[in-house]
Amino acid sequence: MIEKGKHEVRQVLKGKKRVCQTDVENMNYIKLVLKETLRFHPPDPLLFPRKSREQCEIDGYTIPAKAMILINNWVLGRDPECWVDPEKFEPERFKDNFVDYKGNHFELIPFGVGRRICPGISFAVTNIELLLAALLFHFDWKLPHGMDPKDLDMIELYRSSCTRKNPLVLIPKIYIPTGDENY
Ligand code: HEM
């Protein structure tokens, strides 16, 4: 996957020395990688808590007035009724799929939904994609000690947001484009 991302980034940037925002528009694969990351590892798995204004019924359950409501978007992202093979990290699942994270599809709500949806979506997405493209353009990445990607420790730690429990250790090798590469 990292090879696929690197290939795309370096092909789009052929002949250039650095990545610009406009280049990222042509990097479709890294956009799929970000979407899949937000599905599989949402940084805010329970969104912000809500409080019910009045008693109501949802799917046969009575929700009392003033109850605290938590929406578990971590579970929504892994619901087998919404996703094929949900435990598999597969960016291609979004290739011909119009589901996005902008609050219109309730199976993918890493930024929340409705009037309190995250107002920083565009800022966040733009910066993450740009950073990812720059990391793939300027470095070749390796796991230490010939480690298999399947053995990566992906355990999450949930406090106010969800992060890796243990740091990711990678070995970067600087890549200096000559302009003659054949990608
Ligand atoms: C990957 C990055 C980010 C994620 C996953 C994220 C996710 C979220 C989520 C889940 C909420 C709560 C929505 C809800 O409960 O319905 C939220 C709220 C909010 N976010 Fe973000 N966010 C991100 C980046 C940002 C950035 C970069 C900014 C500002 C530049 C930002 C500003 C806010 C603000 C101000 C709120 C509160 C909105 C309100 O309560 O009306 N977020 N965000």
Query: For position 182, what pLDDT does the model report?
Result: 67
Ligand 1 mean position, distance from CA 163 (Å): 15
Instruction: Tell me the pLDDT of the chain (183 aa) as tens digits.
Output: 889 999 999 999 998 889 999 999 999 999 999 999 999 999 999 999 999 999 999 999 999 999 999 999 999 999 999 999 999 999 999 998 999 999 999 999 999 999 999 999 999 999 999 999 999 999 999 999 999 999 999 999 998 899 999 999 999 999 988 777 766
Task: Report the residue among 111, 161, 163 best suited for mutation to probe ligand 1: largest number of ligand atoms under 8 A from its CB.
Answer: 111
Rounded Cα distance, 91 and 74, in Å: 17
Rounded Cα distance, 73 and 70, in Å: 9
Residues contacting residue 144 through CB under 8 Å, at least 6 positions apart? 169, 170, 171
Query: For position 57, what pLDDT does the model report?
Result: 97
Query: For position 41, what pLDDT does the model report?
Result: 95
**Residue whose tokens read 């009575």:** 62
Residue type for position 35: K
Give pTM, 2 decimals. Answer: 0.93
Ligand 1 mean position, distance from CA 11 (Å): 33
Ligand 1 mean position, distance from CA 141 (Å): 30
Asked whether this complex has an ipTM greater than 0.95, the answer is yes
Query: For position 178, what pLDDT does the model report?
Result: 77
Residues contacting residue 87 through CB under 8 Å, at least 6 positions apart? 78
Query: For position 32, what pLDDT does the model report?
Result: 97
Task: Report the residue among 31, 70, 115, 118 best suited for mutation to probe ligand 1: largest number of ligand atoms under 8 A from its CB.
Answer: 118
Query: For position 30, what pLDDT does the model report?
Result: 96
Query: For position 2, what pLDDT does the model report?
Result: 86
Taking CB atoms and a 6 Å cutoff, what residues make up the pocket around ligand 1?
A: 43-44, 47-48, 110-113, 116-120, 123-124
Query: For position 72, what pLDDT does the model report?
Result: 94
Closest ligand 1 atom to residue 128 Cα is 1
Query: For position 162, what pLDDT does the model report?
Result: 93
